[in-house]
């Protein structure tokens, strides 16, 4: 059975997910990879507000390829999530609710997921072209100097995922 959730997700939706569940996610996601996470944490340590609200948000660990003619976005596959592990507990403590990527997470991230009633969803590696078909709109919202690693806001519909780490 596929569980359909909407982002931003409510805590109630997140608490219904269990590791191994198949999920279709629709709604708004932010993108962010290594450089964007580093910049976000630098801003926070310097007392500079983030240029977007992180509370209840979802972050997809991806650096989308430029859009070919007639497309909203290019290939948009997941990157290895563990590269964000050093930054993730702080973002979870600030209200981040959903992370999407591939691969394992550190014990510190798992602890922060449970503490904050969040969830880690896994996307299929190597399926960036397929995933891009779920994206209905894309716009850059922060850190344009980072190029493909800037933060974008994506609107997605029925993005296929698997719950890898649940809120428990």
User: CA–CA distance from 93 to each of 15, 55, 56, 80, 135 (Å)?
Assistant: 17, 9, 11, 21, 28
What CA–CA distance (Å, rounded) separates 119 from 142? 24
HSE-CB for 19 with a 13 A CA cutoff: 8
Q: Is 37 a catalytic residue?
A: yes
What CA–CA distance (Å, rounded) separates 155 from 130? 15
Active-site entry in 7, 9, 30, 37: 37
Instruction: List the catalytic residues.
Output: 37
């Amino acid at each position: 059975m596929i569980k359909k959730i909407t982002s931003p997700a409510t805590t109630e939706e997140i608490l219904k997910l269990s590791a191994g569940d198949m999920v279709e996610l629709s709604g708004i996601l932010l993108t962010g990879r290594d450089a964007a996470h580093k910049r976000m944490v630098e801003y926070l340590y310097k007392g500079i507000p983030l240029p977007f609200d992180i509370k209840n948000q979802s972050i997809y660990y991806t650096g989308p390829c430029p859009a070919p003619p007639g497309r909203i976005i290019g290939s948009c596959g997941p990157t290895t999530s563990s590269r964000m592990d050093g930054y993730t507990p702080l973002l979870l403590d600030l209200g981040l609710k959903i992370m999407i990527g591939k691969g394992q997470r550190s014990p510190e991230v798992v602890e922060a997921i449970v503490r904050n009633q969040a969830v880690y969803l896994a996307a299929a590696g190597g399926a960036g072209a397929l995933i891009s078909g779920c994206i209905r709109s894309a716009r850059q919202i922060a850190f344009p100097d980072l190029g493909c690693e800037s933060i974008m806001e994506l609107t997605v519909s029925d993005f296929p995922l698997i719950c890898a780490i649940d809120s428990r």
